[in-house]
């Protein structure tokens, strides 16, 4: 009987070990330079979006906080493995839940920063009421942090993925965090986008001499990833415009638009209808 109990225990223990070994991390930390890190969401994890953090001489600045508080707490735990310096700022690249859902994991000592348009939308979003902390600091076009070891630039180029996207750039390190202005390897959610402005502003990002570009979704890339995504957006808009210019209805466009060179992108089918609808309405003058 004792031998049977022992085997049962060992079988249970082996199952626990297998689960522990095969658990999928929600994100992976990638060091980009001294003190600069990206947290890249894993395909099967729960983080959904990317984030990052910058360790300065006396503080830490976090960029985005994933979709939920428990994921943000995991991010904070990873930061603690790197440094004991306090997290003082959380910069939100835009207003979507998968980037702001973890704000409540940050204490009152952390100043939350966003573009003024993003805060205005967050303040009136009933689906997020009581679930997030609102930014306490906003800016219009540019906000810079000057630290002994580096300069950190937060800037707004204009409408793009939303009407309140910011990017974060470290000139000395040539590192750029784009938020969802850039999706790497994904069709992306374009349903709140402003296509013409977005394409134009991607060209401005391409002009920066960045060597490491952290997208809102997908792996870190070189600067040519921005060009590739910009080409996709331009092709998408051009394809929808063919239908608009020929007088086709939205329903006809949804049924017949085809971009075979992009249909294997992650999220193509999931977001196709919403993305086409947004672009169609913009071209018809219905989105401002």
Structural domains of the chain ordered from first start:
22-233 (3.60.15.10)
Intervals of the chain under pLDDT 70: 1-22, 287-288
How much is the pLDDT for 126? 96
Report residue 17 CA to chain centroid gap.
Answer: 33
How much is the pLDDT for 36? 98
In 3D space, the residue among 69, 111, 92 whose CA is nearest the CA of residue 161 turns out to be 92
How much is the pLDDT for 22? 55
Starting from the edge strand earliest in sequence, which strands make up the sheet with 87-91, in order? 27-33, 36-41, 51-55, 60-63, 87-91, 111-115, 137-139
Question: Could you tell me which residues come within 8 angstroms of residue 197 by beta carbon, excluding any fewer than 6 positions away?
Answer: 158, 159, 160
What is the secondary structure of 30-61 as a DSSP string?
EEEETTEEEEEEPTTSS--S-EEEEE-SS-EE
How much is the pLDDT for 23? 78
How much is the pLDDT for 270? 97
How much is the pLDDT for 5? 41
How much is the pLDDT for 134? 98
The residue assigned the tokens 């939100």 is 92
The predicted model scores a pTM of 0.92
How much is the pLDDT for 16? 38
Distance CA 92, CA 139 (A): 12
Residue ranges of alpha helices (H) inside 107-249 are 116-123, 195-206, 224-245
Cα→Cα distances 10→1, 22, 166, 217, Å: 14, 18, 53, 41
Distance CA 216, CA 226 (A): 12
Summarised one tens digit per residue, pLDDT across range 190-238 is: 999 999 999 999 999 999 999 999 999 999 999 999 999 999 999 999 9
How much is the pLDDT for 263? 96
Helices (H) and strands (E) in the chain, counts: 8, 12
How much is the pLDDT for 287? 63
Summarised one tens digit per residue, pLDDT across range 147-166 is: 999 999 999 999 999 999 99
How much is the pLDDT for 13? 39
């Amino acid at each position: 009987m004792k031998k049977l109990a022992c085997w049962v225990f060992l079988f249970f223990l082996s199952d626990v070990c297998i689960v522990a070994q095969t658990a999928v991390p929600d994100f992976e930390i990638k060091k980009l330079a001294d003190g600069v890190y990206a947290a890249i969401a894993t395909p099967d994890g729960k983080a959904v979006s990317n984030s990052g953090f910058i360790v300065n001489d006396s503080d830490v600045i976090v960029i985005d906080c994933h979709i939920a508080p428990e994921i943000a707490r995991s991010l904070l735990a990873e930061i603690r493995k790197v440094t004991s310096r306090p997290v003082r700022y959380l910069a939100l690249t835009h207003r979507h839940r998968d980037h702001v859902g973890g704000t409540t994991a940050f204490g009152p000592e952390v100043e939350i920063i966003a573009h003024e348009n993003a805060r205005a939308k967050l303040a009136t979003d009933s689906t997020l009421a009581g679930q997030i902390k609102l930014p306490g600091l906003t800016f219009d076009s540019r906000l810079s942090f000057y630290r002994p070891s580096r300069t950190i630039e937060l800037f707004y180029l204009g409408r793009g993925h939303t009407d309140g996207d910011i990017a974060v750039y470290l000139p000395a390190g040539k590192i750029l965090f784009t938020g969802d202005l850039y999706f790497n390897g994904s069709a992306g959610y374009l349903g709140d986008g402003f296509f013409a402005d977005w394409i134009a502003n991607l060209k401005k990002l391409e002009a920066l001499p960045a060597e490491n570009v952290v997208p809102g979704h997908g792996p870190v890339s070189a600067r040519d990833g921005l060009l590739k995504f910009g080409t996709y957006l331009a092709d998408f808009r051009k394809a929808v415009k063919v239908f608009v210019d020929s007088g086709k209805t939205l329903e006809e466009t949804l049924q017949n638009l085809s971009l075979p060179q992009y249909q294997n992108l992650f999220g193509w089918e999931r977001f196709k209808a919403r993305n086409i609808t947004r672009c169609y309405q913009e071209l018809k003058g219905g989105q401002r």
